Amino acid sequence: MPPTTSSPPPCTSPTSSLSITETVNGSHKFTIQGYSLAKGIGVGKHIASETFTVGGYQWAIYFYPDGKNPEDHSAYVSVFIALASEGTDVRALFELTLIDQSGKGKHKVHSHFDRSLESGPYTLKYRGSMWGYKRFFRRAMLETSDFLKDDCLKIHCTVGVVVSAIDCSRLHSIKVPESDIGDHFGMLLENEDCSDIIFNVQGQRFHAHKLVLVARSPVFESELLDAMEEDKSEIVISDIEPKVFKALLHFIYKDDLIEDEELSAFSSTSVISVFDTLTAKLLEAADRYDLPRLRLMCEAVLCEDIAVSTVAKILALADRYHAMDLKSVCLKFAAENLVAVVQSDGFEYLKENCPLLQSELLKTVAGCEEDVSGDGKSRSVWGQLSDGGGDTNDRSVRQPWESGGERSQNLWAQPENGNGRSPPRQED
């Protein structure tokens, strides 16, 4: 009789998992204005870009006008990408592109993305680790090429941080659309349905709803309670422009900024003052009616207009209306571009009207100097062009040169002073 064989026990449904290794990519555009002035800073000394974030890490582009390698005797310029934040064994792919500014598209590209690497992606062991080229381009050839135009170089950098994860996403999902409550409240405002209060703003009437205003603004709550006690159905406002009040109501009902060309009409080359822009007036209204989210939205718009020629007045505006985030950005920008800012018309306004802000700016400058580390890996605010030249309307005036040593002169001094001392503070 043949031996009997037992059947295997029944199996439950098999499980599975998927490991995915990929790159999280990000790019940064670095413009070097005033290349001829950057030459001569010394072998091994570099100009650094602003830091940018890719894959949860901070990165920076280092450009060495006189080269990184002493043996090359400044015959080449060097370009590197550096890990600017804390991290160990960060694996990444890189691409460096020197832009051809003739329009022919003949860029100089060094890339890991379009080829396989024998040993895999590069590993950066610690903060300050770099990848790049000591002999990125022969300097004599660069200075007669289409890569240099109007004394300006443009470098594009792409970083791909390698990440691995287990994909446990569901096979099916239901997408929930974005909230449309703002649209519904917006229609309530536009149609004037069930409105129970009228605002007379310099002769223009706006219908609104007490409950909505009370829920959004503690200042409106106080004003409307007073109006109810006096049995008022119309409130007169004479110190706000109708277009500003309209934008204010739009935010209160829809929780976003009104679509208006004036919100983005101002620029560093505009003939109008920043104080006269719709954004500035809306920032004032946000402060008056205690609307912190609207204030922050206005700060974000004004932040886009920060330049050497505008930063002083935007700083004054931020201080006046308690826009702390915008004020912090202005102080940092002004400190990093101190030479050019001191020569601007806006700085004269600051001296005459906001002497305390000058003291805050000086403290910020001192703080930036203290942040410079002895190993030369951090950017020094004092490493700016000593003659303060350049286009005062250009956001990229700051030249963050890394010298690793002491500054050559006191950049707080005004050009006409000439004695290295801080300009005298105006007495009230």
* 143-190: pLDDT as tens digits: 999 999 999 999 999 999 999 888 765 556 788 898 888 888 888 888
Fold match, 179-256 / 271-368: yes
Tell me, rounded to whole angstroms, the distance of Cα 368 from its chain centroid: 18
Single out the residue of 349, 267, 353, 255 nearest to residue 302, CA to CA.
267
Give Cα separations from 419 to 248, 322, 381, 414, 416 (angstroms): 49, 36, 20, 9, 9
- pLDDT, residue 170, reads 55
* 39-54: pLDDT as tens digits: 999 999 999 999 999 9
- pLDDT, residue 142, reads 93
Interatomic CA distance for residues 3 and 126, integer angstroms? 66
* 226: number of Cβ within 10 Å: 11
Q: Which two tokens stand for residue 396?
A: 């990229």
Interatomic CA distance for residues 369 and 379, integer angstroms? 9
User: Are 100 and 107 within 8 A, CB to CB?
Assistant: yes
Range name among 161-170, 186-195, 217-226 with the lowest pLDDT average:
161-170
CA dihedral 294, 352, 310, 37 (to 10 degrees): -150
Query: 120: pLDDT confidence band, cut at 50, 70 and 90?
Result: confident
Q: For the purposes of burial, counting CB atoms within 10 Å of the CB of 175, is it exposed (0-12), middle (13-18) or buried (19 or more)?
A: exposed
Beta carbons within 8 Å of 120's beta carbon, 6+ residues apart = 91
Interatomic CA distance for residues 382 and 72, integer angstroms? 28
* 232-280: pLDDT as tens digits: 788 999 999 999 999 999 999 999 998 876 665 555 545 568 888 999 9
Interatomic CA distance for residues 81 and 107, integer angstroms? 18
Single out the residue of 404, 367, 311, 294 nearest to residue 42, CA to CA.
404
Q: Is the dihedral of CA 395, 354, 291, 224 positive or negative?
A: negative
Interatomic CA distance for residues 410 and 342, integer angstroms? 12
* 341: number of Cβ within 10 Å: 28
Q: Which two tokens stand for residue 240?
A: 């706000």
Q: Which two tokens stand for residue 144?
A: 């007669």
Mean pLDDT of 313-332: 94
At the top level of CATH, the class of 271-368 is alpha beta
Query: 344: pLDDT confidence band, cut at 50, 70 and 90?
Result: confident
The residue ranges of every structural domain in the chain are 19-166, 179-256, 271-368
Specify the pairing of strand 152-167 against strand 204-208: unpaired
* Higher-scoring residue by pLDDT: 268, 63: 63
Mean pLDDT of 369-373: 52
What does CATH list as the number for 179-256? 3.30.710.10
Give Cα separations from 211 to 218, 234, 256 (angstroms): 12, 15, 19
Determine the 3-state secondary structure of 279 from DSSP: helix
Q: Is the dihedral of CA 355, 359, 365, 367 positive or negative?
A: negative
**Greatest C-alpha distance within the chain:** 116
User: Are 194 and 209 within 8 A, CB to CB?
Assistant: yes
Give yes or no for residue 114 having a pLDDT over 70. yes
CA dihedral 169, 173, 177, 181 (to 10 degrees): -100
Give yes or no for residue 345 having a pLDDT over 50. yes
Interatomic CA distance for residues 416 and 428, integer angstroms? 23
Q: Does domain 19-166 have CATH number 2.60.210.10?
A: yes
